[in-house]
């Protein structure tokens, strides 16, 4: 069996401003990680195990970005004033949650889940956990300035670390 090469951890984090941004995101990442503990504790545990594996892996552990990364998620997309076309997230797993956080000074924003027939008020400060691979989602219009942070996990990172990705969230996890 051939082993996959280690995941690329430092694709865009070569500049000092990127490291400054990571330092500024410490508190926000801690909050998003805490939300994941509540909405899917087994997924959080799998991610922590994967992060530990990255820390112990000689080919990755010394990369500077990993020293600053405190998110339970393996990636964050930042979208400024973007309208998001209907899509599903293809590099995840069906039972994993993405966490969408929206901030700014805007109004009349709706997060649509077309396949489910659901439209949600998506005002500043809204946090939504959803299976981005299962639920098609979009943001089509709004008035003002908006920043959205999409926190996600990548299947290839878990596969490389050989950490099981858990299963669907179950109510029994809370008992």
- What is the fold of 76-151? Jelly Rolls (2.60.120)
- Helix boundaries (H) for 57-145: 64-68
What are 152-165's pLDDT values in tens digits? 888 888 788 888 77
- What confidence category does residue 11 fall into, taking pLDDT thresholds of 50, 70 and 90? very low
What pLDDT score was predicted for residue 108?
A: 95
Look at the block and give the residue holding tokens 């892996």. Answer: 57
Which residues are CB-contacts of 1 (< 8 A; sequence separation ≥ 6)?
A: none
**pLDDT at residue 103, as a whole number:** 94
What's the pTM?
Answer: 0.82
CB–CB of 74/154 below 8 Å? Answer: yes
With helix as H, strand as E and coil as C, how does 147-172 read? EEEEEECCHHHHHHHCCCCCCCCCHH
């Amino acid at each position: 069996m051939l082993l996959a090469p280690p995941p690329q951890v430092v694709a865009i984090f070569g500049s000092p401003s990127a490291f400054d941004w990571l330092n500024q995101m410490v508190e926000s990442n801690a909050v998003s990680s805490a939300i994941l503990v509540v909405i899917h504790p087994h997924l959080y545990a799998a991610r922590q195990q994967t992060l530990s594996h990255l820390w112990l892996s000689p080919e990755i552990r010394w990369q500077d970005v990993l020293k600053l990364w405190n998110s339970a998620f393996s990636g964050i997309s930042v979208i400024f004033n973007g309208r998001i076309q209907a899509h599903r997230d293809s590099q995840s797993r069906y039972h994993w949650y993405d966490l969408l956080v929206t901030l700014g000074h805007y109004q009349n924003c709706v997060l649509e889940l077309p396949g489910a027939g659901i439209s949600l008020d998506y005002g500043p400060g809204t946090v939504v956990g959803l299976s981005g691979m299962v639920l098609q989602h979009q943001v089509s219009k709004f008035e003002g300035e908006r920043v959205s942070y999409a926190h996600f996990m990548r299947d290839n990172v878990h596969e490389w670390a050989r950490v099981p990705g858990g299963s669907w969230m179950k109510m029994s996890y809370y008992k």
